[in-house]
Every structure is written in C-alpha cells, then in structure tokens.
Amino acid sequence: MIFHSLDFLLFFLFVLAVYWQLGRRAQNLFLLGMSYFFYGYVHPWFLYLIFASTVVDYFCGLTIARHPEKKRFVLWFSIVSNLTFLCYFKYFGFFVDNVAELLHLLGLPSFTNTLDIFLPVGISFYTFQSMSYIIDVYAGRLKARENFFEFALFVVFFPQLVAGPIERAITFLPQIEKERSISATDVRDALFLLVWGFFKKLVIADNVAYIANKLFALEETTFALAWTGVFAFGVQVYADFSAYTDIAHASARLIGFKLSPNFNHPFIAASPAEFWKRWHISLSSYIQDYIFLPLYFRFRTRGVRYAVEKGLLITFFLIGLWHGAGWNFILFGIYHGMLVIVYDRCKVVTPIGIRENPWMRPFQILLMFSLANVGFLLFRESEMDYILRHLTLSPLAATGELQWRAACFLFGQALFFSLPLWIHTAYAHMGHRLIPAESWFRTFLQVMVSAAMFLAILVARGDSEEFIYFQF
C-alpha cells in the first residue's frame, strides 16, 4: 500500500476512527494488526519474512537477558540470521550475475540463466531497525522486552515501515509502552506536514522526475542537457524521499508517536560531513553508532587518522551497498567517503579565517551542491559507460544553440518546481524568528499555505511514480 493512493487514505481514516476509541494495550494490538495488513496488502508473502525476523530477534533478546554467558553467540546468531535474509533477497542475484559475467570474461564455461529474486519492500529498513534492538540489548543499553506484541509493533509500525526513518528500539519502544495523547497543536502541525509531504511528492518530485527521465533516456547528450538531468534528479530524489518521511512523521503524530528526524535541509550543507548530518539522518547516525565507532576503536591503535579514514571508507562503502545491489551504489558510497576524507584533510591546511568566514559559506554551499550532484549521477545511473560519458563531457565542446536553449528551458522548469523547497529552507532558518511558534498568524499562514498546496495537488499530473526508496 502506497501513501499517495485512495486505498491508504481510506485505510488511515479507518485507523484513526478506531484507534482513539481504544485503551493503550488495545491500541497496540490494533496497530499491529493494521501494520501487518498495510505491509501485506499487495504481497501477503512479505509477512512471512518480516514475522520470521521479528521472532528471531524477540527470542534472541530474551536469551541474552536470561543467559548472559551466551550473549555473544546469540548476538551473532541474530546478526547472521538478519543479514542472511537481507543478502539473499537483495544481493544474491547481483552476486550470481557478476560471477556469470566474470566467468564469461575469463573464457570459462558460464551460465545464462541467472536469478531474478523479488525484493521485499522495505527489507533494508526493518532489518536495520530490528538489529538495533539486539545490539542495544547485548550492550546493556536496553532491557529485553517480554511482550512479544509490543516488540512486533516496533518492527512493523506502518508509517515508517517501508522507507524509514530507521527507528532505534531505545527511543521507540518506550513510546509503545506508555499512554499516548494528542493535542490540537499536534493535529494542526501534523495536517500541515501531511499536505506538505503530498505536495513535495505529487507536485515537485513527480514533475521534475518527468524532466530527469527524459534527459537520462537520451542516447546522445551534451554537457548542458546531461547535467540538467542530474540536477532534476537531485531535486526529485530529495523531494521524493523527504516527502515520504514527512507523511510518515505526520501519520505517526496523528496516532500519538514521534519519529526520528531524517532530513534537515541538506542542500545548504557546506561540506560532505555536514551533508550527511542533514541527509538520511537516521541511516547515517545508525551507521556511525553501530559500525563506524566500533571500527574506529578497533583501528585506533594504528593512529587516529588511520582509524578515522579506514572507518569512513568501510562505513560509506556499506552505505552505498545498503542502497542497492549495483556497482553504481558502491561507487556512490565510496565517492562520498572520499569526499569526507579529502575535505577533512583540506581543513587542516586551510586558514581558519577562510574556513569559518561567513562570507565564504555561500561558495562552500554551491561547491558542495555541485559535488552532491556528481553523487546523484552515480545514484541514478547503473550503466558504467553512461556514467563515464557524463563525467567526461566537456562544457567547451561544440553544442548547438537549440540544445543550449532546451537545457536552459528544462533547467528553469526544474528550478521552478523546486522553488518551494528553497522557500521552505529559508523559512526554517529565519521564519521562526519572525513568527512565534504559538500565534494566530502562524496558524493562519499554515491554513493558507495548506490550501494553496492542496489546490496544486488537485491539478498536478495524474500519473504518479512510486517512492524511489521503496526499492531499498
């Protein structure tokens, strides 16, 4: 079931109508049933996999609590079990395809019938979420839960199940276990966020996707057309993914939950490290806490710089691999890891007066945005020769006037559709200083902006694409 569908609207209205009539325990059981219905709505067999993962981690948590002498073995059993599910469904077909290609290149007998394994939606998200529970129980940061139904709800909570944010057990389970309430302010802010999320998806993301898809489909391209397509895709993926996050946050808030932040205006980041503190925050913080820091302490005996840089390369390699089974995703991760390392080294030799001069920040943001677009190219295009062709295109090469005019027109369209994102960023940084959080004018402004966005949604293009991060 997808958010931007009539099915979800009817489903969610039914959930709200019943949910607030129940007590906490009944609410949890009802949400659990509705979450399983939501996840298995199109492909019921998905439920077998997520239920198996839930059962394994529930009993592993109890075993660690009751038999601490076996906790290391149980931890690895849980991790291996979860990663086996993930690797088989997400990476095994990729592995088999590459083995077949390698045998062919070596002139050895190969095979042509490779595996086409159907990827369960959201498997990367709920696998990492469930693993956080076991790791925290093992480390003593969290007590193992006895109530299976409450733990199962943590794993399968429908607003953020398919595309995040990745919730930590240590912050989300307490919300499941306590009484929940909702205020008029919560409803107001949630409804505004809901409309903003649908607007970003249906008006911004889907319209710039049309531009990006057309330009990436060109067999012969130029520098201007190619990078206009990359710019459009960068806007698309941000608007699309953050739209899902906003709808998830709003839906959760309307049933009394608060989800972790996942985006904080990443296009105004001035460095790669800052970019990843603003982009897909739940994944980058998860990787930092559960992978980078253990690696750093493991490598620290060989020096701080060695530990940091090796840890960064490994973690960003895993971030790329987490996104998908493809060499372009691996390159995407390594590229961003190298950017963080290069920026860190440059910071050492750059005078602090230049590095921290506020007048330099606009230029730093523009440079980082340009570098981020190279990453979006790696993210979008799976064909290596196409990526190389983009990267080797020269802006000085002979280009016809018609192509330049087409590129400028399409860039202007993409910029026009992305304008609300820039306005929202400006308001987030300056608006709260001008408009008090609790004021009639803020409520009036939200109502007027919501009405305008709702009208824009009604006249938006009818054919909407799936959320990009559904494939992960």
Active site residues per annotation: 323
**Residue 151, token pair as written in the block:** 């733990």
**3-state SS assignment for residue 179:** coil
Terminal-to-terminal C-alpha distance of the chain:
16
**Residue 448, token pair as written in the block:** 């007027």
Question: Who's near 186: CB < 8 A, 6+ residues apart?
Answer: 253, 254
CB-count burial class (<10 Å; 0-12, 13-18, 19+) for 213: middle
Q: What phi-psi label fits residue 107: left (phi over 0), alpha (psi between -120 and 50 degrees) or beta?
A: left
Rg for the chain (alpha carbons), in Å? 24
Q: E strands, 263-347, where?
A: none
User: How far apart, in whole angstroms, are the C-alpha atoms of residue 232 and residue 218?
Assistant: 15
* Contact indicator for 468, 240 with CB cutoff of 8 Å: yes
User: How far apart, in whole angstroms, are the C-alpha atoms of residue 345 and residue 29?
Assistant: 52
**3-state SS assignment for residue 1:** coil
Contacts 24+ apart (CB under 8 A), 184-193: 185/438, 186/253, 186/254, 187/254, 188/443, 188/446, 189/253, 189/446, 190/249, 190/250, 190/251, 190/253, 190/254, 191/250, 191/450, 192/446, 192/449, 192/450, 193/246, 193/247, 193/249, 193/250, 193/253
User: How far apart, in whole angstroms, are the C-alpha atoms of residue 293 and residue 383?
Assistant: 34
User: How far apart, in whole angstroms, are the C-alpha atoms of residue 287 and residue 283?
Assistant: 6
